[in-house]
Structures are given as C-alpha cells and as structure tokens.
Amino acid sequence: MLAVLAPGQGAQKPGMLADWLELPGAESFFRWAGAIADADLLTLGTEGDAEAIADTAVTQPLVVAMSLFVARELGGLPGPVTHTPYAGRDVVIAGHSVGELTAAAVAGVLTVEAAIALTAVRGRAMAAACAQTPTGMSAVLGGDPDEVLASLERHGLAPANLNGAGQVVAAGPLDGLAALRADPPAKARVMPLSVAGAFHTPFMASAREQLEGLVDGLTPMDPSRLLLSNADGAAVSTGAEALRRLVTQVTSPVRFDACLATLRDLGVSAVIELPPAGALAGLAKREWKGAGIEILAVSSPADLDRARQLIAAERGRAEAEHFPDWRVVVAPARGTVSPAEVAEGSHLPAGTPLGCIRGRREEVNVSAAYDGVLAEWLVHEGDLVDAGDPIARLYPEVSA
C-alpha cells in the first residue's frame, strides 16, 4: 500500500514555488489559486521572505495550493484530471493540520476550489483568533511521554500536536511556555516555534465558529481513497464526517502519531510526501526506523519521476498480490479496552468505530481502517492492552 502525506503550516520555505514554475501550467495554477484565496500566492511563494510567508492568513492557502498542484502533476486529483494511479484502496491519504484539507481534496471529498477557499477562510480566522490573546507554541523533543504531558499540564499548556517520533508541540499562554522552557521535562529539549498563536487549542474557538458557519454550504463527496483523520488516526468513511472533523480539528490536538500508527498497521510499503516536503517524511523515518519502507519527500520537480515510479509499483503490486485472508486490528495505545457493540460476522465499511482505549490521560478511538467483515473479537470489555496488542480480526473485502 502507498501512503501520500500532505504537510501543514510550518513546512513553508522562502522561494518554494520558484523551481515548480518551470512546469507547464504552474504559473496559471497559482494565479488561479491566489484568486480563490484572495492572496497573491505566486508572489508570496517566489519572492516572500520568511516573515511574509509565516503569516497564518496566507501561509495556509499557499501550502495547500502547492501540495495540490504537485498532486495534480502526479495524477492525484478528482475531476477532469486523470487520477487512475491513486484509484481504489491501494493508497491511503493523510494530512497534518491544514494539510488535512489537501488530503480531503486528493481523496475526492472536496473540489480543489473548495479546499483552497476553505483553507483561506481557515487561515484568516485563525490569524484573527491569534490576535485576541498572546499565545504561542513550542516543540518538546524527547523525554518520557507521560512526564512531558504532566509537565505541560503543570504549566497550563496543552499538547496541540502529538507528532510521533518523540515530538510533542505544547501550546498556550506565553508565560506558560517560558516556564516550560526554563524547567523542561527530564531528557527533553524545548524549542520555541515561530507561530502566531496556540493552534489546535480552545484559543482557536472563534475560528472554529467561523468555519462552522460556512461548511453547511459545501457538498462533500465520500472519500474515493482511504482517508485518515488527525483526530484519532482512524479512516473516515463519509464526506460529511470528514468535513465535520476538519472543522473540529481547529480546536483539537493533531494526533499525527495515531496516523503513523495506522499507516504502520496497514502495512504501507512506500510513502510520498507532497511539497513543501520534509517534515512529515522525517517523522515517518524516525518512527519507522528499520522498517524497510521507502519514504520520498518530493522537494523539487526532479523527484517527480521517482514518485511516479512508486505509484506505478504500488499499483502493480496491489493487482498482483494475493489479498490477505484476514487482518488484525491492533490497539493504538496502552489502556483499558471497551469494544463496540458490533456482532461478529458484521459487514463494516472503512471508518466503522470498533471501540476505544481508555488510558491514564486520554481516550483513543479505534476504527476499521478498511472495508471488511468482523471475524472475531480478541478482547473483552475491561481488558488491559498495550499499544500493538490485537483487538479484533477482520476479513478484508475487495470492491468490485
């Protein structure tokens, strides 16, 4: 299976569009995307300095437009652009933060126009929310996960991003961030981030309200490819659910660690990160060190040929390999399991809730990552499980 990752804000770099303008249609695409976003994305992406492209209001549509352009070059958008290389369930899509809007378009939930327009509104609304209260974010690298979360709570901070590979992003008031940096958790480093405010926390409530007032005007489609959510790493089965999660994610933590766990459980054999690439590929390499998974960060047009080769290879492999008789659903975290009331033998579409794992500090939902039949429950209510322990056995179903 091939995974396609879409980066979020923070991945941008000055001049990041320059090399891509050599490709046919690139300049007109970014002018058109800029008209939709009401921002000069072409100039920002070629001439804007680090400060200019760090502005949340314009950075978000710039990053999403860039990712969508390259997805188009790889044949990965719905509509009039051929998307055969991504067809069916041999590909899984996941985005990080605002990259979830890119992922929603690549998965066929939103049109390109709707994704860019919604991203522009999101960026402006989050920028306005940041201006209401002085807040910020810091990356916490390393340390014991429980000790890190306890330290954040002690300083009045929230874990805005749980990225995996030992990386947690703390968010909240500036004095709390300063205290965290002065008194970091054991064996951890704290690095302040150049962002406007505490994204993915309740400080973004006004931005969420603005988005809630707009999305009823959209008509999302159900995903045509397997689409994972930052909320819990689970597959999303309907367009309406994907859109709802895109809105609520503005004030909720990004669980990219859960997305990486799901990708591992699905058995991905190759990963392509859309540009501006590098951050998510780095997380995946550290999280899956030694797993033998090829991870390609598409950083320039020179990387397109290898990306196309990976797409072709995965498509051919999916057609040639025998589909497994059954697969095991595993626990994404340590805790007490509470299975859903789903009878063995039930047909489950991708995204069907299978229960939750209740740990000391959080509750993690578990869902079916693909269409299938529940063959057997392997746990009972109240059983204690570790991350990676089997929960249920499913027979995958192949779409006709």
**Got the DSSP string for 142-166?**
ES-HHHHHHHHHHTT-EEEEEEETT
Tell me the C-alpha distance between 343 and 275, whole Å: 43
Question: Which of 97, 138, 151, 367 does the annotation list as catalytic?
Answer: 97
Tell me the C-alpha distance between 398 and 400, whole Å: 6
Class of domain 132-192: alpha beta
Ranges for all domains in the chain classified under CATH 3.30.70.250: 132-192
Looking at residue 311, its pLDDT comes to: 87
Superfamily of domain 2-128+202-320: Malonyl-Coenzyme A Acyl Carrier Protein, domain 2 (3.40.366.10)
Question: Which of 67, 155, 200, 252 does the annotation list as catalytic?
Answer: 200
268 neighbors 4 (Cβ within 8 angstroms): no
- What b/e readout covers 198-214, taking b as 16+ CB neighbours within 10 angstroms? bbbbebbeebbebbeee
- Whole-angstrom CA distances from 128 to 131, 146, 162, 206, 277 are 5, 33, 24, 8, 27
What does the pLDDT profile of the chain (400 residues) look like in tens digits?
A: 899 999 999 999 999 999 999 999 999 999 999 999 999 999 999 999 999 999 999 999 999 999 999 999 998 654 333 333 344 457 899 999 999 999 999 999 999 999 999 999 999 999 999 999 999 999 999 999 999 999 999 999 999 999 998 999 999 999 999 999 999 999 999 999 988 899 999 999 999 999 999 998 899 999 988 999 999 999 998 999 999 999 999 999 999 999 999 999 888 999 999 999 999 999 999 999 988 999 999 999 999 999 999 988 876 665 555 445 567 888 887 899 999 999 988 888 888 999 999 988 788 889 887 788 898 999 999 999 887 788 998 887 654 4
320 is written with which tokens?
């040639």
Helices 205-212 and 112-132: angle between axes, nearest 10 degrees: 150
Ranges for all domains in the chain classified under CATH 2.40.50.100: 327-396
DSSP element (H, E) containing 347: strand 347-348
Looking at residue 86, its pLDDT comes to: 42
Cα 359 to chain centroid, rounded: 23
Region of 161 please: left (phi>0), alpha (psi -120 to 50) or beta. Answer: beta
Looking at residue 320, its pLDDT comes to: 53
Identify the bridge partners of residue 142 per DSSP, sorted by sequence position.
188
Which residues, 6 or more positions from 6, have their beta carbon under 8 angstroms from its beta carbon?
Answer: 64, 67, 93, 94, 95, 96, 99, 100, 102, 103, 106, 273, 274
CATH number among 2.30.30.40, 2.60.120.650, 3.30.2130.10, 2.40.50.100, domain 327-396: 2.40.50.100
97 is catalytic: yes
269 is catalytic: no
